């Protein structure tokens, strides 16, 4: 049962409505074809503990606004920080000036896909307890206690802990008559232990696999089995330190959602962003092999592969009511029975390619802060479970010689989303359908479509978990985003496994 | 509501705080950018931000607690809220392990100078030239994608112990990717600038045309170890990561490549037989950087108690030997080493090295020339093994000449090991890391030739 929160009164007391009216009115004086005003307040707090002690705690707040216009087919964007109508008018004028300078370089006029107007709507995410309303000392005590408990365990030389908490408020208004006010909350807890193998001198670490979530403080008190997660960490580290190194080669992999979410993020989430497919990120984050000419024909993976884009799922990090272009959020198919069938869109691209979503954006435009321009950004992109699919144990049972992969660690993929390499928190050898102890120094490497084509089975709904990250990077100037990815435990055949020590030469 | 100056905000915060001590930092920042793709402008922006950080220090029975609150703010009433929150956080906080006496001092002579700034007009000359470049590229069957960004951030730092410091930091960079109309290959040029007076779109376009020309001959080469020339941008990519990994605390605690097995740090170890110098210098002529410590929070590397501490030229590696790691006063005590805090630039030099990337290429009998690196992530902290990809052009070199383009590769390499293994270096030049330049724009690095660079697997990206 989730408490229904309203928008914080300390946010609604800010003068953004008057500022919006002034800025939009001023923009109209220049005969703009579109103008929007976005005001945001993002409050966050980061707490770090080490070896049972507070290492640092910091609160930060980003309050500001921006005005975006289309003038003679060119974008103009400006942002500022004052809280007065005068400042808002000045920023609107700067946006118009930017559009005038931009016009000389805009060879293809910008136009937006239509979207109904939403007259003064509100949306608040599902959470119980505002984490920033919990006293700091209560949070530090809990984290320091957990860190001290870990440090006191056998074989643990150091323990680390961190908690990021964000409460985001967003107000949006445009000349078409849409006005939205929204609020959402997210948390990212992370705890780790570090130790050394006394014989070899090799060191390593092990951290919790609890995902970041769109939930409140309740996630730390009764939203996750922290006792078990923390209790097993020292033993898992000891096993890893004593584990044999992997023999490089090809193995069947059973991959837990705590690792597979990141592979989905990199090889599907980013690859099906339409701005990348169209080349907008060519100079920075990169493009995509999954270009539009392959829509409906590209065999992305095996027929058991079904992937959706979604900005509406409960507790998802990319979940919200309306995007930064005033588009109501949606859920849609990206890959159906292994075939590419959809993309993530914003309004200009939806207008350019009406065949993709009936000429309407699917609500994937957003900025990370008031001072940044909205760009096409990722939805919660998730792999669906098989309705009567197997359990994790059953998937492991199908493997004669393989590796069971749990938790994410390092990730890297090329500029067109073909070649990737991932490591993890822990790797278990699978022998004749059973787990046979941990392995060290494992990385798996593949080409996207080969990897997803090698997916023999997805697990059942009981294996499905929501993972995610706070730190997805894209665009210039750089923006970060938080996004969730759900998936079941899944079985992949014959994947290239590297030994990272051998790679280091 | 009258506009307050950044200096007003600092003084107001220091006067308003009820804690034992207080640090106030104001960042006043303006930036302007243009972004383009497919031979047209895609986005742009003119941004202004002003943020205030207040670190309040409160003495308790067990020591001193720090409360840190940062917020955008433009008026003194907003600063009151920040101070109130910081004071409350300090009162509620537990004693900080890194507590130390605050730095003392006076106002610097330029304290009362107003903030620097920039505007869209910084591109007054560049914008029409870019428009022209788009038209020429379209006519000649090329597609351009790129970005220019200019930011001027002025930092004002004051403490209740009298310190008043000001620093104005211009930061600019440009980058452009080009592809032929069939998108079958790509090339990239980019660099850092302080004011865009030295950026020439026509010269940029010409270099891109030259590189696309190299790719007119495609050669298939398998993964493997190759004699490889890494240009200054790629060396910056790798060395920045090594610098960021050089926390003395983590080394001391047995968690990094700079940890000595059995305990302690590797300071004093020879990392390279080359006369290799790696240092930071806030006063470096072309890479001037913040000359004092400014941090909102304590971390593995920095301490809020060090705010205002002067920074100076610091050698991390001297003549191939590791001489210092990133320290604050607290970790310097832990490790018994001098206080050598993080500085916002990095210079890599090899004594006696001369010539350019092209000169290194001229000495290669059969090998590769990399354009830049991408998506670099840590695989193993123990060896600092990094993985990543080559990007936007890897060229085959035969008998000292570029003779064609090969595929891209995934590499697995450690920058610490490369310091030992490189066979030749060019002269050091200002460089811009493709991967990290947005966050660490001030580097000067040589090109390095590595006789056996590990191109681990083939990437189909082109």
Residues B297 and B392 both lie in one domain? yes
Residue A63: CB atoms within 10 Å: 23
Q: Sign of torsion, CA A258 A262 A268 A272?
A: positive
Helices (H), B277-337: 329-335
Nearest to B142 by CA among B174, B203, B186, B175: B186
Residues B207 and B222 both lie in one domain? no
- The CATH number for B114's domain is 3.30.2290.10
Residues B201 and B321 both lie in one domain? no
Q: Taking CB atoms and an 8 Å cutoff, what residues of chain A touch B93?
A: 54, 57, 136-137, 140
Q: Taking CB atoms and an 8 Å cutoff, what residues of chain A touch B233?
A: none
Put simply, the answer to whether A500 touches B412 (Cβ < 8 Å) is yes
* DSSP helix/strand/coil, B417: helix
> What are the φ and ψ backbone dihedral angles of B390, each rounded to 5 degrees?
-80, 160
Q: How far off is chain B from A295, nearest CA to CA, in Å?
A: 18
* DSSP helix/strand/coil, B159: strand
Chain A, nearest residue to B69 by Cα: A59
Hey, what are B200's tokens?
Answer: 């020439």
Last residue of a domain, one of B212, B235, B259: B212
Q: Taking CB atoms and an 8 Å cutoff, what residues of chain A touch B173?
A: none
Hey, what are B453's tokens?
Answer: 């660079």
Q: How far off is chain B from A432, nearest CA to CA, in Å?
A: 29
Strands A380-383 and A203-207: unpaired
| Cβ-contact A140, A54 below 8 angstroms | yes
Residue B2 has pLDDT above 60, yes or no: no
For chain B, helix, strand, coil in percent to 5 are 20, 40, 40
Whether B61 contacts chain A with CB within 8 A: no
ipTM: 0.93
Residue whose token pair is 């507590």: B99
Residue B223: CB atoms within 10 Å: 15
Interface residue of A47, A59, A293 to substitute, partner B, most B CBs within 10 Å: A59
Put simply, the answer to whether B461 touches A414 (Cβ < 8 Å) is yes
| Cβ-contact A299, A453 below 8 angstroms | yes
Strands A179-196 and A121-124: parallel
* DSSP helix/strand/coil, B297: coil
From-to residues of CATH 3.30.2290.10 in chain A:
9-242
Helix (H) or strand (E) holding B224: strand B224-230
pLDDT digits (tens, 9 = 90+) for A324-369: 999 999 999 999 999 999 999 999 999 999 999 999 999 999 999 9
Put simply, the answer to whether B177 touches A282 (Cβ < 8 Å) is yes
Chain B, nearest residue to A288 by Cα: B461
Spatial distance between the Cα atoms of B21 and B159, rounded to a whole number of angstroms: 8
Whether B304 contacts chain A with CB within 8 A: yes
Residues B32 and B147 both lie in one domain? yes
Put simply, the answer to whether B97 touches A57 (Cβ < 8 Å) is no
Residues B119 and B226 both lie in one domain? no
Q: How many CB pairs under 8 A join A and B?
A: 290
Q: Can you say whether residue A94 is alpha, beta or left, with left for phi > 0 and alpha for psi between -120 and 50 degrees? A: alpha
The full 3-state SS of A117-157, as one line of letters, equals CCCCEEEECCCCCCHHHCCHHHHHHHHHHHHHHHHCCCCCC
Whether B5 contacts chain A with CB within 8 A: no
Last residue of a domain, one of B179, B212, B245: B212
Put simply, the answer to whether B39 touches A107 (Cβ < 8 Å) is yes
Contacts of A297 (CB under 8 A, 6+ apart): A339, A340
Q: Is residue B348 part of a domain?
A: yes
Hey, what are B174's tokens?
Answer: 């440009």
Whether B71 contacts chain A with CB within 8 A: yes
Hey, what are B129's tokens?
Answer: 């030239």
Put simply, the answer to whether B457 touches A445 (Cβ < 8 Å) is yes
Residue whose token pair is 């202004």: B48
Give the model's pLDDT for residue B1: 43
Q: Taking CB atoms and an 8 Å cutoff, what residues of chain B touch A283?
A: 35, 37, 145-147, 175-177, 188
Q: Which of residues 94-113 of B touch A (CB under 8 A)?
A: 94, 96-97
| Cβ-contact A128, A3 below 8 angstroms | yes
Put simply, the answer to whether B89 touches A278 (Cβ < 8 Å) is no
Spatial distance between the Cα atoms of A23 and A293, rounded to a whole number of angstroms: 41
Helices B76-92, B6-16: inter-axial angle, 10-degree rounding:
40
Chain A, nearest residue to B387 by Cα: A412
For residues B241-264, average pLDDT: 95
Q: Taking CB atoms and an 8 Å cutoff, what residues of chain A touch B72?
A: 61-64, 81
Instruction: Name the pLDDT band for B125 (thresholds 50, 70, 90).
Output: confident
Put simply, the answer to whether A414 touches B389 (Cβ < 8 Å) is yes
Chain B, nearest residue to A46 by Cα: B297
pLDDT digits (tens, 9 = 90+) for B128-177: 888 899 999 999 999 999 999 999 999 999 999 999 999 999 999 999 99
Within 13 Å of residue B397, how many CA atoms lie on the same side as its CB? Answer: 25
Q: Which of residues 196-255 of B touch A (CB under 8 A)?
A: 253-255
Q: For chain A, which ranges sit under pLDDT 70? A: 1-3
| Cβ-contact B178, B143 below 8 angstroms | yes
Q: How far off is chain A from B63, nearest CA to CA, in Å?
A: 13
Residues B21 and B135 both lie in one domain? yes
Q: Is residue B363 part of a domain?
A: yes
Q: Taking CB atoms and an 8 Å cutoff, what residues of chain B touch A164?
A: none
Hey, what are B389's tokens?
Answer: 């990809």
Q: Is residue B315 part of a domain?
A: yes
Q: Is residue B1 part of a domain?
A: no
Spatial distance between the Cα atoms of B167 and B311, rounded to a whole number of angstroms: 13
| Cβ-contact A114, A194 below 8 angstroms | no
Buried/exposed B2-29: b ≥16 CB within 10 Å, e otherwise: eebebbbbbbbbbebbebebbbbbbbbb
Residue A401: CB atoms within 10 Å: 12
Q: From the list A74, A203, A281, which residue is nearest B382 (CB)?
A: A203
Put simply, the answer to whether B374 touches A60 (Cβ < 8 Å) is no
Q: How far off is chain A from B316, nearest CA to CA, in Å?
A: 23
Residues B238 and B104 both lie in one domain? no
Residues B304 and B168 both lie in one domain? no
Interface residue of B4, B31, B37 to substitute, partner A, most A CBs within 10 Å: B37
Put simply, the answer to whether B385 touches A412 (Cβ < 8 Å) is no
| Cβ-contact B161, B21 below 8 angstroms | yes
Q: From the list B75, B143, B374, which residue is nearest A415 (CB)?
A: B374
Give the model's pLDDT for residue A1: 47
| Cβ-contact A288, A447 below 8 angstroms | no
DSSP per-residue letters across A230-281: HHHHHHHHHHHHHPPBPPPEEEEEEE-HHHHHHHHIIIIITTTBHHHHTTTT
Q: How far off is chain A from B430, nearest CA to CA, in Å?
A: 21
Q: Is residue B235 part of a domain?
A: yes
Residue B108: CB atoms within 10 Å: 16
Within 13 Å of residue A356, how many CA atoms lie on the same side as its CB? Answer: 26
Put simply, the answer to whether B47 touches A137 (Cβ < 8 Å) is no
For chain B, the C-alpha Rg in angstroms (whole number) is 24
Instruction: Name the pLDDT band for B37 (thresholds 50, 70, 90).
Output: very high
Q: How far off is chain A from B359, nearest CA to CA, in Å?
A: 27
Whether B385 contacts chain A with CB within 8 A: yes
> What are the φ and ψ backbone dihedral angles of B15, each rounded to 5 degrees?
-70, -35
Chain B, nearest residue to A198 by Cα: B262
Interface residue of A46, A58, A165, A192 to substitute, partner B, most B CBs within 10 Å: A58
* DSSP helix/strand/coil, B127: helix
Chain B, nearest residue to A266 by Cα: B375
Q: Taking CB atoms and an 8 Å cutoff, what residues of chain B touch A273?
A: none
Residue B245: CB atoms within 10 Å: 21
| Cβ-contact B358, B329 below 8 angstroms | no
Superfamily of A9-242 according to CATH? PmbA/TldD superfamily (3.30.2290.10)
Give the model's pLDDT for residue A2: 55
For chain A, helix, strand, coil in percent to 5 are 25, 40, 40
Q: Taking CB atoms and an 8 Å cutoff, what residues of chain B touch A57?
A: 67-68, 89, 93, 297
Q: Which of residues 27-56 of B touch A (CB under 8 A)?
A: 31-51
Q: Can you say whether residue A363 is alpha, beta or left, with left for phi > 0 and alpha for psi between -120 and 50 degrees? A: left
Note down the domain range covering B420.
Answer: 217-462
Residues B279 and B378 both lie in one domain? yes
Q: How far off is chain A from B128, nearest CA to CA, in Å?
A: 7
Residues B182 and B238 both lie in one domain? no
Buried/exposed B400-428: b ≥16 CB within 10 Å, e otherwise: bebeebbbbbbbbbbbbbbbebbebbbbb
Put simply, the answer to whether A443 touches B97 (Cβ < 8 Å) is no
Q: Taking CB atoms and an 8 Å cutoff, what residues of chain A touch B41?
A: 74-75, 102, 105-106
Angle at B299 (CA atoms; ends B293, B305), nearest 5 degrees: 45
Q: Taking CB atoms and an 8 Å cutoff, what residues of chain A touch B47?
A: 78-79, 371-372
pLDDT digits (tens, 9 = 90+) for B410-434: 999 999 999 999 999 999 999 999 9
pLDDT digits (tens, 9 = 90+) for A238-291: 999 999 999 999 999 999 999 999 999 999 999 999 999 999 999 999 999 999
Residue A194, beta-bridge partner list: A158, A205
Residue A77, beta-bridge partner list: A68
Spatial distance between the Cα atoms of A133 and A117, rounded to a whole number of angstroms: 34
Residues in chain A: 505
Q: How far off is chain B from A355, nearest CA to CA, in Å?
A: 21
Residues B148 and B224 both lie in one domain? no
Instruction: Name the pLDDT band for B202 (thresholds 50, 70, 90).
Output: confident
Hey, what are B136's tokens?
Answer: 């020429």
Instruction: Please state the domain count of chain B.
Output: 2
Angle at B353 (CA atoms; ends B351, B358), nearest 5 degrees: 160
Last residue of a domain, one of B212, B230, B252: B212
Intra-chain end-to-end CA distance of chain A, in Å: 54
Q: From the list A56, A63, A196, which residue is nearest B254 (CB)?
A: A196
| Residue B263 exposed, middle or buried by CB count within 10 Å (0-12, 13-18, 19+) | exposed
Residues B380 and B237 both lie in one domain? yes
The full 3-state SS of B234-286, as one line of letters, equals HHHHHHHHHHHCCEHHHHHCCCCCCECCCCCECCCCECCCCCEEEEECCCCCC
Chain B, nearest residue to A291 by Cα: B183
């Amino acid at each position: 049962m989730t408490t229904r929160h309203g928008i914080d009164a300390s946010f609604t007391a800010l003068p953004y409505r008057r500022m919006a009216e002034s800025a939009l009115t001023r923009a109209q004086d220049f005969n703009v074809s579109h103008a929007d005003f976005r005001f945001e307040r993002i409050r966050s707090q980061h707490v770090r503990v080490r070896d049972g002690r507070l290492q640092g705690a910091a609160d930060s707040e980003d309050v500001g606004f921006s005005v975006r216009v289309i003038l003679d087919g060119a974008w103009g964007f400006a942002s500022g920080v004052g809280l007065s109508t005068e400042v808002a008018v000045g920023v609107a004028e700067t946006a118009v000036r930017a559009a005038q300078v931009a016009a000389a370089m805009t060879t293809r006029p910008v136009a937006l896909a239509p979207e109904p107007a939403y007259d003064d709507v509100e949306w608040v995410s599902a959470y119980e307890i505002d984490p920033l309303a919990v006293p700091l000392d209560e949070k530090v005590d809990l984290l320091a206690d957990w860190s001290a408990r870990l440090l006191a365990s056998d074989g643990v030389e150091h323990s680390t802990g961190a908690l990021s908490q964000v409460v985001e408020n967003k107000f949006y208004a445009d000349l078409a008559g849409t006005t939205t006010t929204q609020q959402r909350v997210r948390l990212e807890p992370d705890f780790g232990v570090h130790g050394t193998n006394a014989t070899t001198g090799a060191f390593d670490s092990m951290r919790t696999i609890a995902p970041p979530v769109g939930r409140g403080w309740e996630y730390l008190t009764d939203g996750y089995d922290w006792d078990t997660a923390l209790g097993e960490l020292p033993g898992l580290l000891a096993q890893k330190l004593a584990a044999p190194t992997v023999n490089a080669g090809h193995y069947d992999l059973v991959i837990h959602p705590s690792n597979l979410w990141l592979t989905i993020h990199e090889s599907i989430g980013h690859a099906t962003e339409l701005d990348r497919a169209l080349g907008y990120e060519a100079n920075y984050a990169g493009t995509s092999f999954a270009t539009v000419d392959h829509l409906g024909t590209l065999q992305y993976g095996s027929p058991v592969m079904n992937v959706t884009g979604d900005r509406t799922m409960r507790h998802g990090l990319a979940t919200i009511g309306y995007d930064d272009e005033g588009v109501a959020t949606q859920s849609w198919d990206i890959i159906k029975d292994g075939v590419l069938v959809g993309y993530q869109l914003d309004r200009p691209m939806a207008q350019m390619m009406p065949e993709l979503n009936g000429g309407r954006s699917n609500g994937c435009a957003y900025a990370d802060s008031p001072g940044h321009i909205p760009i096409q950004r990722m939805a919660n992109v998730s792999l669906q479970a098989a309705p009567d699919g197997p359990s994790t144990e059953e998937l492991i049972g199908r493997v004669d010689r393989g590796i069971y992969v749990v938790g994410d660690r390092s990730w890297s993929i090329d500029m067109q989303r073909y070649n990737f390499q991932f490591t993890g928190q822990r790797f278990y050898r699978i022998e004749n359908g059973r787990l046979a102890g941990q392995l060290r120094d494992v990385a798996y490497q593949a080409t996207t479509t080969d990897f997803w084509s090698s997916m023999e089975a997805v697990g059942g709904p009981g294996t499905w978990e929501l993972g995610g990250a706070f730190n997805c990077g894209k665009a210039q100037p750089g923006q970060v985003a938080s996004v969730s990815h759900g998936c079941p435990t899944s079985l992949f055949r014959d994947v290239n496994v590297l030994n990272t020590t051998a790679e280091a030469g | 509501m009258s506009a307050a100056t950044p200096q007003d905000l600092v003084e107001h915060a220091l006067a308003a705080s009820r804690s034992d001590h207080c640090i106030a930092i104001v960042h006043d920042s303006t930036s302007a950018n243009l972004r383009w793709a497919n031979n047209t402008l895609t986005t742009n922006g003119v941004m202004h931000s002003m943020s205030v950080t207040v670190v309040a220090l409160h003495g308790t029975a067990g020591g001193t607690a720090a409360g840190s609150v940062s917020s955008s703010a433009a008026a003194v009433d907003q600063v009151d809220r920040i101070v109130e929150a910081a004071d409350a956080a300090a009162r509620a906080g537990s004693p900080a392990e890194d507590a130390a006496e605050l730095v003392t001092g006076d106002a610097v002579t330029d304290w009362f100078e107003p903030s620097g700034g920039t505007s869209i007009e910084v591109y007054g000359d560049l914008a029409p030239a870019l428009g022209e470049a788009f038209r020429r590229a379209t006519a000649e069957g090329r597609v351009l994608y790129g970005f220019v960004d200019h930011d001027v951030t002025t930092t004002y730092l004051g403490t209740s112990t009298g310190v008043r410091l000001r620093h104005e930091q211009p930061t600019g960079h440009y980058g452009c990717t080009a592809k032929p109309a069939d998108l079958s290959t790509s090339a990239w040029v980019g660099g850092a600038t302080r004011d865009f007076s030295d950026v020439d779109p026509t010269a940029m376009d010409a270099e891109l045309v030259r590189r696309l020309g190299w790719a007119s001959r495609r050669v298939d080469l398998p993964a493997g170890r190759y004699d490889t020339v890494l240009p200054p941008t790629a060396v910056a990519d790798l060395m920045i990561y090594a610098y960021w990994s050089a926390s003395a605390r983590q080394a001391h605690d047995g968690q990094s490549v700079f940890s000595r097995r059995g305990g302690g740090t590797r300071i004093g170890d020879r990392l390279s037989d080359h006369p290799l110098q790696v240092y930071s210098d806030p006063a470096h002529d072309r890479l001037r950087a913040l000359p004092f410590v400014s941090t909102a929070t304590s971390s593995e590397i920095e301490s809020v108690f060090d705010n205002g501490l002067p920074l100076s030229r610091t050698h991390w590696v001297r003549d191939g030997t590791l001489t210092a790691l990133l320290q604050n006063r607290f970790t310097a005590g832990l490790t018994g080493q001098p206080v050598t805090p993080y500085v916002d630039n990095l210079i890599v030099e090899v004594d006696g090295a001369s010539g350019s990337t092209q000169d290194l290429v001229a000495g290669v009998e059969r090998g590769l020339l990399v354009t830049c690196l991408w998506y670099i992530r840590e695989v193993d902290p123990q060896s600092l093994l990094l993985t990543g990809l080559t990007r936007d052009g890897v060229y085959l070199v035969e008998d000292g000449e570029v003779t064609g383009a090969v595929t891209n590769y995934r590499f697995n390499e450690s920058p610490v090991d490369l310091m030992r293994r490189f066979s030749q270096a060019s002269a050091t030049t200002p460089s811009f890391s493709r991967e990290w330049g947005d966050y660490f724009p001030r580097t000067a690095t040589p090109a390095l030739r590595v006789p056996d660079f590990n191109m681990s697997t083939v990437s189909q990206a082109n």
